[in-house]
Amino acid sequence: MKTLKLAFAALALAPFAAPVPAAAQIVLSNPWKLVRAGEARKVGKSDLQVTAVGDWNRATERQTKESENWTQNGIGLDDLGFYAAVKKGEALFHQRDKKKDPLPKFDPAMLPTDIVEWFENSARNALGSAVFEVGAVRPAKLAGADGVEMDFSYATEGDNLERKGTARAAVIGQKLYLISFDAPKIHYYDEGLPSALAIMNTARIVK
Amino acid sequence: MSMLHRAVAGLLSCALLASPLAAQKAAVPPKPLPSAAGYKPQDKLEEGLWFEMDEQERLLKQSKFLVTDPGLNAYVKGVLCRTVGQERCSATRLYIVRTPYFNASMAPNGTTIVYTGLLLRMRNEAELAAVLGHEYTHFEQRHTLRLFKDIRAKTDALSWLSFIPIPYVGMLSQIALIGGIYAFSRDMEREADAGSLNELARAGYDPMQASAIWEQLGAEQDATAKVRGHKSQKDKNGGMFATHPKSTERMQTLREKAAAFALAEPGATRAAEYRAALKDWWPTLIDDQIKLQDFGGTEYLLATLAGPDPAGWTPELLYARGELYRSRGQAGDFEQAVAAYQAAIEAGQRLGGGAIPETWRGLGLAQLRLGQTAAGKAALRDYLAKKPNADDALLLSSMAQGA
Among A82, A62, A61, residue whose Cα is nearest residue A204:
A82
Residue B291 with chain A: CB contacts under 8 Å: 120-121, 124-125, 130
Residue A198 pLDDT exceeds 80: yes
pLDDT of residue B364: 98
Residue B149 lies in a domain: yes
ipTM of the complex model: 0.85
Tell me how close the Cα of B212 comes to any Cα of chain A, in angstroms: 25
Beta bridge partners of B95: B113
Q: Of B259, B290, B307, which residue constitutes the final position of a domain?
A: B259
Question: Does the beta-carbon distance from A125 to B99 stay under 8 Å?
Answer: no
Does one domain contain both B253 and B286? no
Q: Which of B103, B113, B172, B395 to mutate to test the interface with A (most CBs of A within 10 A)?
A: B395
Asked which of A59-63, B66-70, B280-284, B368-372 is least confident by mean pLDDT, the reply is: A59-63
Residue A155 pLDDT exceeds 90: yes
H or E element that contains B326: helix B315-328
Q: What CATH number corresponds to the domain at position B358?
A: 1.25.40.10
Residue A53 pLDDT exceeds 80: yes
Q: Mean pLDDT over residues B35-39, rounded?
A: 88
Q: Does B65 touch chain A (CB under 8 A)?
A: yes
Q: Of B213, B229, B259, which residue constitutes the final position of a domain?
A: B259
Q: Give the phi and the psi of residue A65 in degrees, each rounded to 5.
A: -55, -50
Residue B266 lies in a domain: no
What's the one-letter identity of residue B249? E
Residue B24 pLDDT exceeds 60: no
**3-class DSSP state of B98:** coil
Q: Which residue has the higher pLDDT, A55 or B1?
A: A55
pLDDT of residue B30: 58
Residue B370 pLDDT exceeds 80: yes
Q: Which residue has the higher pLDDT, A164 or A11?
A: A164
Residue B65 with chain A: CB contacts under 8 Å: 129-131, 155, 157
**Structural domain count, chain B:** 2
CB nearest to B293's CB, from A10, A104, A136: A104
pLDDT of residue B27: 59
Residue B274 lies in a domain: no
Residue B273 lies in a domain: no
Asked which of A11-25, A136-150, B355-369 is least confident by mean pLDDT, the reply is: A11-25
Does one domain contain both B291 and B220? no
Does one domain contain both B68 and B194? yes
Chain A's closest residue to B389, CA to CA, is: A136
CA distance B230 to B350: 41
Among B169, B73, B184, residue whose Cα is nearest residue B119:
B73
Chain B's closest residue to A147, CA to CA, is: B395
Residue B267 lies in a domain: no
CA distance B8 to B2: 9
Beta bridge partners of B104: B114
Does one domain contain both B199 and B344? no
Q: Mean pLDDT over residues B83-109, rounded?
A: 92
Does one domain contain both B386 and B352? yes
Does one domain contain both B34 and B117? yes
Q: What is the mean pLDDT of chain A?
A: 87
Q: Which residue has the higher pLDDT, B156 or B383?
A: B383
Does one domain contain both B205 and B312? no
Does one domain contain both B313 and B344? yes
Q: Does A146 touch chain B (CB under 8 A)?
A: no
Tell me the range of A47-51, A100-104, A156-160 where mean pLDDT is highest: A47-51
Does one domain contain both B143 and B238? yes
Tell me how close the Cα of B338 comes to any Cα of chain A, in angstroms: 16
pLDDT of residue B26: 55
Residue B341 lies in a domain: yes
Does one domain contain both B104 and B57? yes
- B271 DSSP 8-state letter: H
pLDDT of residue B241: 54
Q: Give the phi and the psi of residue B95 in degrees, each rounded to 5.
A: -130, 130
Residue B104 lies in a domain: yes
pLDDT of residue B403: 67
Does one domain contain both B214 and B330? no
Q: Of B227, B259, B291, which residue constitutes the final position of a domain?
A: B259
Does one domain contain both B98 and B137? yes
Chain A's closest residue to B396, CA to CA, is: A113
Range of the domain at B351: 280-399
Residue B74 lies in a domain: yes
